[in-house]
Structure 1
Amino acid sequence: MTFNSLRDQVIAVTGGSSGIGLSIVKKLLIIGAKVAIADLNAPAAGAIDGVGKLDADFTYTKVDVSQRNEVHKWIESTVQTFGRLDGMVPNAGVCPDEENYYDDDRIQLQLKVNVMGVWICATEAFKQFKKQNTPGSIVITASSQGLRGGPSNPGYAASKHAVVGMMKSLAVDWTPQGVRINAVAPGEKPPMFTDRG
């Protein structure tokens, strides 16, 4: 499979310093895209060695995705560095241990990052695409937990269900305006619950 359509494209990736986000960043750099990484932590030393050069192929900015002003400044900086924005990957998310279902702070954190963070990044990217008068693409990292329930993480599953619903609604509004929005749902297939009667 080739990804020539992504060569020289400018893609913003949140949560790009580790895990799935870092894998996305590496793949984009390997195929020749320019990447703007946003995360609360910088990539580990050597994590991107050999696949890209700082400030030439990629940038890193410390960003709290739940704060619109930080996301807005990050996108502005990305456009100043690379000239435009072609795509956004709202990937940042949190999934804390939920053994205590009654911990409201944990649920609030997941809604703040996993839902509001996606909303803010998607809408800021959309505004930039419209400002440039260019098409754009947004690919949200959802989760298999956003498609069906699973054990021990109701807050995370709820946040990812919200993200899937948000993507579907935004696609109805934005696709006719030239902005594609999709989601991927990585993760293990959780057990299905059945009525054993």
Structure 2
Amino acid sequence: MEAFLISTGIVALAEIGDKTQLLSLLLAAKFRKPWPIIAGIFAATVVNHFLAGLAGALITQWLGPDAMRWILGISFLAMAGWMLIPDKLDDEDTKVVDNLGVFGATVIAFFLAEMGDKTQIATVALAAKYTTLLPVVLGTTLGMMLANVPAVLLGEVAAKKLPIKLVHMVAAVIFAMLGMVVLLGSQLSAWIA
């Protein structure tokens, strides 16, 4: 349950103001059909995050626990720093294949925009940390939906009212804390006991 809840919270926070959330706003403005867009975001996220989670689980099997601890700790600290850099939507991210329909265009555009994105990298790291693929993928997918469904339904009104800098700072602090806990885990356990 911890893997699911942490994954949901981290990705929901990390997604606010992210380029894929901006893409959600763009798709909503372009097509004005929220339900196929939401379904497309869900489908793209499930596939993308499953593959990312699978990569995290495989990395854990290949590396020893000490190497994995350092990689995860440093990755979470890097994610904390990355959270403080505002995202921009590139022209390439906004190219949508119109002949695929709203659902198909959303799936393709969202899947491609998510490649190498903060939330995808976070999914890899979370799956490696928790070694439980399903709860992590379900959690990160729910986090994506929690951040993107309101963006699609409420559009720019919601986006303008969210304190994006504050949300990013909170997410950065959470990532930094996770990084420190992972790096200092055995020392913290000994110190607390």
Structure 1 length as normaliser, TM-score?
A: 0.23
More helix by share: 2
More strand by share: 1
Structure 2 length as normaliser, TM-score?
A: 0.24
